[in-house]
Chain A
């Protein structure tokens, strides 16, 4: 292992949901270390805890116990307000169903994190322009989400996720709602962003897409059963 501090260090994390009276162990003693710039895919059967893991990594949810260090900071004891700061500055999130705000234009959706952070309009424009052209959305910037195709919407969502220049980009089935053509474009875009330095974690059902990642993680019943980077973390099933 490299001596440098990893971007993410997770140890002994558990998360249990109650489904009726039944406890569901969505995350079961998870341990994971991710260095800056890595490209990970998380795969596994439905209900295996992939989304739960990603939400936890994205500080959208808190583990029941265990440790989660992000960029050198222990996030578990943080207050909700402190976590909000980390979400804003460190993390970009891309959802399967885009989660765009329907009344805002593509450009406004993309600049929303800047707006929420209180950045003045001129500065927002300055930061937005390169992202829009990077995503090839120049002609769509003024459109409302319902005037865009699925692929375009997901690109807007990606634009929104990277506008704050986060270290970590989390994507939960980003191509799940897309046809293969636009899914391919979105994957390419995400990989280009990773090549530029962002740490990319993708949850996917698509084994082709999952297989493209340099590091592949497999989950079953809340447990990481294989990790291509450290075969000893689970039974090394291919």
Chain B
């Protein structure tokens, strides 16, 4: 039996000698693997991105929205004015419930932010101090909103980095006044550059006390209320008691919707998981295509080299040894191709991360592993069959194959 170092050298020679064939097989294999790893990496990145967006909200956060999104069998409300607003009083009532750690009523809208001659339309968020903690909003400089009773206005605001640059640069912004439509407030803090979250680009946002924002937008109702629950375990019972509370406060009608980020996340996660699998499916198809390419290449190789197979057998190698030689060759080749493809995919994903730093593009391990495994399996199988066939013939058949041409 040939020594394994000799076998490797023999294989290496064969691969180096037929550079074109080797290159084609390498390309076929690496493209197949590249497709699988890259596509799943992109899909997985998108999935992780959306998941990350949601996880900014903790697991112990409830969202209360005005309006009823689901009808639980009862008659839809036929009151002419539709649903009632969620007021700051409602939010305060929720805060008084046991198990509620904090509430952050939110008002969201667009307003013209002005400062001297500069102005721009921008996102305005009415919030309170708890909002910063619940949303993990970090500051680059200054302070967050002061602790105030919800109904109390205060002429202060915290602005995002983009807004600061556009309105103030190169002058310092802290302590300066800005106009928010007809109102004025003083900048007390600058947000750290954290990019987007839940569809809101915080870099372009101005955050002011919720009561002040209600004056700006001339509204009585809040956009939503974030409710920080003391314990995740209390989530279920709390949901019921908030619904009871709101029904009481709104004349016996339940006209709010409570959302746990978990349930939202679940829905999205399912969709995205399906997406990831679909993408992996595309990748797998491309791998099969590459496999067929390898099969053809191997078939050509083996038939081109039947004379060599015959010769090796004539020199005393057994069919088993000859087959091992050829299968080894194909397997080594597909392994190199697969590793190259994986490496390329990782480079592309890395480039994608540089281009889109917000999205954590990265191939899941299972995708890389199964792509490489599948590639090697393709190489193995598609070389095994023709090599076995060629090797099991009497050597004279293989030898004559060449002398006949």
**CB-defined contacts of B139 to chain A, threshold 8 Å:** none
Stretch among A5-13, A96-104, A196-204 lining the B interface:
A96-104
> A73 within 8 Å of B by Cβ?
no
A117 to B316, CA, bound (A): 8
> A165 within 8 Å of B by Cβ?
no
A123 shortest CB reach to chain B, Å: 11
Stretch among A54-62, A130-138, A147-155, A185-193 lining the B interface:
A54-62
A62 to B396, CA, bound (A): 9
> B134 within 8 Å of A by Cβ?
no
A61 to B399, CA, bound (A): 11
Point out which of A96, A102, A103, A120 has the most chain B C-beta atoms below 10 A from its C-beta. Answer: A103
Inter-chain contact A85/B14, CB cutoff 8 Å: no
A85 shortest CB reach to chain B, Å: 7
A10 shortest CB reach to chain B, Å: 17
Q: Which of A115-161 contact B (CB under 8 A)?
A: 115-118, 120-121, 160
Inter-chain contact B3/A118, CB cutoff 8 Å: yes
- Total chain B interface residues with beta-carbon distance under 8 A: 30
Evaluate whether A88 and B316 lie within 8 angstroms (CB atoms) in the complex, with A101-B308, A102-B17, A116-B2 already known: yes
A15 to B399, CA, bound (A): 18
> A113 within 8 Å of B by Cβ?
yes
**CB-defined contacts of B48 to chain A, threshold 8 Å:** none
Inter-chain contact A84/B311, CB cutoff 8 Å: no
A139 shortest CB reach to chain B, Å: 22
**CB-defined contacts of B16 to chain A, threshold 8 Å:** 103
A101 to B315, CA, bound (A): 12
Inter-chain contact B315/A88, CB cutoff 8 Å: yes
- What 0/1 pattern do residues 387 to 398 of B give for CB contact below 8 A with A? 000001011100
> A80 within 8 Å of B by Cβ?
yes
Stretch among B219-227, B281-289, B318-326 lining the A interface:
B318-326
Residue in B14, B308, B315, B402 whose beta carbon sits within 8 Å of that of A116 in the complex: B315
A93 to B310, CA, bound (A): 12
B111 shortest CB reach to chain A, Å: 77
> A81 within 8 Å of B by Cβ?
yes
> A112 within 8 Å of B by Cβ?
yes
Inter-chain contact B395/A89, CB cutoff 8 Å: no
**CB-defined contacts of A84 to chain B, threshold 8 Å:** 313, 316-319, 321
**CB-defined contacts of A87 to chain B, threshold 8 Å:** 313-316, 395
Point out which of B2, B311, B316 has the most chain A C-beta atoms below 10 A from its C-beta. Answer: B316
Inter-chain contact B394/A99, CB cutoff 8 Å: no
Evaluate whether A62 and B394 lie within 8 angstroms (CB atoms) in the complex, with A101-B311, A117-B316 already known: yes
> A164 within 8 Å of B by Cβ?
yes
- What 0/1 pattern do residues 34 to 76 of A give for CB contact below 8 A with B? 0000000000000000000001001011100000000000000
Evaluate whether A97 and B319 lie within 8 angstroms (CB atoms) in the complex, with A58-B314, A118-B2 already known: no
Inter-chain contact B392/A80, CB cutoff 8 Å: yes
Residue in B6, B319, B392, B396 whose beta carbon sits within 8 Å of that of A60 in the complex: B396
Point out which of A87, A120, A164 has the most chain B C-beta atoms below 10 A from its C-beta. Answer: A87
**CB-defined contacts of A88 to chain B, threshold 8 Å:** 315-317
> B218 within 8 Å of A by Cβ?
no
**CB-defined contacts of B310 to chain A, threshold 8 Å:** 60
Inter-chain contact B315/A112, CB cutoff 8 Å: yes
Inter-chain contact A103/B316, CB cutoff 8 Å: no
Residue in A60, A85, A120 whose beta carbon sits within 8 Å of that of B314 in the complex: A60
> B1 within 8 Å of A by Cβ?
yes
**CB-defined contacts of B10 to chain A, threshold 8 Å:** 115
**CB-defined contacts of B17 to chain A, threshold 8 Å:** 102-103
A120 to B2, CA, bound (A): 9
Inter-chain contact A81/B319, CB cutoff 8 Å: yes
Evaluate whether A116 and B394 lie within 8 angstroms (CB atoms) in the complex, with A101-B308, A103-B13, A103-B14 already known: no
Inter-chain contact B314/A81, CB cutoff 8 Å: no
**27 A-B interface contacts by CB (under 8 A):** A60-B394, A80-B319, A81-B318, A81-B319, A81-B320, A84-B313, A84-B319, A85-B318, A87-B313, A87-B314, A88-B317, A89-B316, A93-B314, A99-B402, A101-B311, A103-B14, A103-B16, A113-B315, A115-B2, A115-B6, A115-B10, A116-B2, A117-B316, A118-B1, A120-B3, A121-B6, A160-B315
Residues on A lying within 8 angstroms of B by beta carbon are 55, 58, 60-62, 80-81, 84-85, 87-89, 93, 95-97, 99, 101-104, 112-113, 115-118, 120-121, 160, 164
Q: Which 5 A-B pairs have the closest CB atoms?
A: A88-B316, A103-B17, A84-B318, A60-B396, A61-B396
Task: Identify 16 new A-B residue pairs, CB closer than 8 A, beyond the known A103-B16, A115-B10.
Answer: A58-B314, A60-B310, A60-B313, A60-B394, A60-B399, A61-B394, A62-B394, A81-B319, A84-B318, A84-B319, A85-B316, A87-B313, A96-B403, A104-B13, A115-B6, A118-B6
